Homo-oligomer: A and B are copies of this chain.
Amino acid sequence: MKFTVLNQDSGTAARTGRLELAHGVVDTPCFMPVGTQATVKSVTPEELEEVGAQMILANTYHLGLRPGIEIVKNAGGLHSFMHWDRPILTDSGGYQVFSLADLREITEEGVVFRDHIAGSLHTLTPAKSIEIQQALGADVIMAFDECPPYPSDRDYTCQSLDLTLQWAARSRKSHTDGRQVLFGIVQGGLHRDLRKKSVEGLEEIGFAGYGIGGLSVGEPREIMYELAEYTAGLLPAEKPRYLMGTGTPDELVSQIAFGVDMFDCTVPTRYGRNGSVFTEKGKMVVRNAGFKDDHRPLEEGCGCYACRNYTRAYIRHLFNTGEILAHRLATIHNLFFYQELMRNARRAIEEGNYSAFEKKFLEGFKPTSDRSDRR
């Protein structure tokens, strides 16, 4: 891996970069569509390339359960299995174990849990998570962490952080595949001093880059912003910073200003399947009857496949009649919107003009009341 910061904005901490990975180059700031189960829901790899996605995310927890690592290994790894030849990042499974599974025991060794599908008993440890991620063969893999729920008290967060730091060291030790790079995950809840301790602990172990975890888990947006900014500022400038599991377009635009380089979130795909699409003005529920005779594209001037070829009336009809193509078109539009947002953000940073870009975008974009999440 090679990460090069190309431009540093003058008015904000925003920066552009070039992330060179085993399967290709990623321009940062970047947004990674979420392909939890080895598919970004409803779209093909070719469609992802067409919207401009350079890297996607997949999940250790889900893929370890179904189809299971042996099958992906036999397929020649995740890239080959899912027919995606650009970079992939895999999450460590930590977040999913704590948010989806039925926990039985957390020890220094790892976690014993019952999965959310068959209810079978599993053990996940840092070594096991890294082993699975190495078998999957992603370009970037993540250390195994505990993400404390919101709200958590200081004592719990403190203990949890100690565990996560131990697990980070074990993850680092288990990581042997030189084609992959390993990122540590910053935790520490909503406490600045614990965030600082987390960053220092991780830097001591040494990672190729850092995920900012434990945010966007239910806390107020202002607190998320404050801690994202604070944490990003603690991280070494020469390494990529990945804010995990966030967010809506306006959140991304704000967080790029903090110096974040990488994002992933289910929002564009999940909202799309639910009939909500993004425009420069905010979220638009195209599923609504108000669009039934509206023969304009989802967004005037948008260059995505859906907007070039279909109308709101048609897409609304597809949602109204339960047609799969509805999900596809809304997903494509939203993913294109996110990638276009990243392209525009990078251009603004290159021009040293990010504050103006951010201000203009946020003035036009009505925030959604729903919150983003990490999957």
Q: Which residue of B lies closest to A40 (CB)?
A: B325
Interface positions, chain A 298-323, Cβ under 8 Å from B, are 309-311, 313-314, 316-318, 320-321, 323
The CA of A70 and the CA of B321, in the complex, are separated in Å by: 17
Copies in the complex: 2
Tell me if A317 and B41 are in contact (CB < 8 A): no
Tell me if B324 and A293 are in contact (CB < 8 A): no
Q: Which residue of B lies closest to A321 (CB)?
A: B37
The CA of A75 and the CA of B74, in the complex, are separated in Å by: 49
The CA of A363 and the CA of B324, in the complex, are separated in Å by: 36
Tell me if A81 and B39 are in contact (CB < 8 A): no
Is A274 positioned at the interface, with any CB of B under 8 Å from its CB? no
Residues of B within 8 Å of A39, CB to CB, are 318, 323, 325
Indicate whether A81 sits within 8 Å of B314 (C-beta atoms), given known contacts A41-B323, A324-B42, A327-B324. yes
Is A208 positioned at the interface, with any CB of B under 8 Å from its CB? no
Is A292 positioned at the interface, with any CB of B under 8 Å from its CB? yes
Interface residues on A, range: 35 or more
Residues of B within 8 Å of A316, CB to CB, are 67
Residues of B within 8 Å of A70, CB to CB, are 293
Is A38 positioned at the interface, with any CB of B under 8 Å from its CB? yes
Residues of B within 8 Å of A313, CB to CB, are 67, 71, 74-75, 81
Is A192 positioned at the interface, with any CB of B under 8 Å from its CB? no
Is A122 positioned at the interface, with any CB of B under 8 Å from its CB? no
Is A221 positioned at the interface, with any CB of B under 8 Å from its CB? no
Tell me if A314 and B38 are in contact (CB < 8 A): yes
Is A83 positioned at the interface, with any CB of B under 8 Å from its CB? yes
Q: Which residue of B lies closest to A311 (CB)?
A: B75
10 more CB-based (< 8 A) A-B contacts, given A42-B325, A62-B321, A67-B316:
A42-B328, A44-B325, A67-B313, A71-B293, A74-B313, A75-B313, A81-B313, A81-B314, A82-B314, A324-B328
The contact sample of 9 A-B pairs, CB cut-off 8 A, is A37-B317, A39-B318, A41-B323, A41-B325, A71-B293, A75-B314, A81-B311, A81-B313, A83-B310
